[in-house]
Amino acid sequence: MNMGKKSKLVIAISSTALFDMAESHHVYEQQGVDAYAEYQRQREDEVLSPGEAFPLAQKLLRINDKLEGEPRVEIILLSRNSADTGLRVFNSIAHHDLAISRAAFSGGESPYRYVSAFGCDLFLSTNADDVRSALDNGVAAATLLPSRGGPSDTDELRFAFDGDAVLFSDASERIFKERGLQAFTDNERAAAHTPLDAGPFKNFLQALQSLQSEFSQDDCPIRTALVTARSAPSHERVVRTLRDWNIRIDESLFLGGLSKGDFLKSFGADVFFDDQQAHCSSAREYVATGHVPHGVANE
């Protein structure tokens, strides 16, 4: 096969994020691993309902239908199940007609170790410890929170990102937390021409842009937005940083501290990534939300 320089977007999703496994998790918590295994075996022909990441997975895989040649998007399933109890998960994948063929069943251990081995650009899970471990190993990762907002009804896939401690490092946010808004504003104004250091999601955004470049601007199925509490004059450093990275974000919202939820709904985000629990709590009322346990807000 000749893929030239076209790279693949690889996303790892845990079984508990892909499917609603609340009931079986309850059995595990109350009765232990043996009862859980037996519970799954008895129900391996019962199809699991979609979980938080399911609509996102569907939209991601549909991108492959729009491009000729080798699939450009791959989803890897990661699970703490054993392969034996994971049979129900694969049966559910087949039932829902999801083109997912690679998986790691880690038998009770954290599966995050396989995120790098599979070359993943992003890891989505409901287990905060696994997510933190992946972030510590340099992979973009987020804990998907139960959301009240349903998926958008278009094929277009819309990603929204917070800035500091997500796309960018938390160095500026640290100044804000420790010394207040004025010190933060003064620092950003003085450093306007100095690019911000990369945060954990920079490489994922870059991989997304690489995939976007396969399409003309008129029919691109992916749209990105920066949704940040920053406002003028601290916006300039952000704009110059993205320019320095040679990354184009489709929409940038500088909200100056306004609640993000309404804006994410207006953008039509399929998923939003933020490092702060408070922002995640308001966002999840409207859209699927991934908490990024990184930076000063999570120490």
- Which is catalytic among the residues 121, 162, 270, 275? 162
Task: Round to whole Å and give the CA distance between 209 and 289.
Answer: 21
Helix (H) or strand (E) holding 264: helix 261-267
How many other C-beta atoms are found inside a 10 Å radius of the C-beta of residue 163?
A: 28
218 is a catalytic site residue: no
N-term to C-term CA, the chain? 46
List Cβ neighbours of 38 (8 Å cut-off, separation of 6 or more).
none
Handedness of CA 161, 151, 114, 99 (dihedral sign): negative
Contact 152, 60 (CB under 8 A): no
Number of residues assigned to the chain:
299
Torsion of CA 75, 76, 80, 81, to 10 degrees: 90
| Catalytic annotation, residues | 162
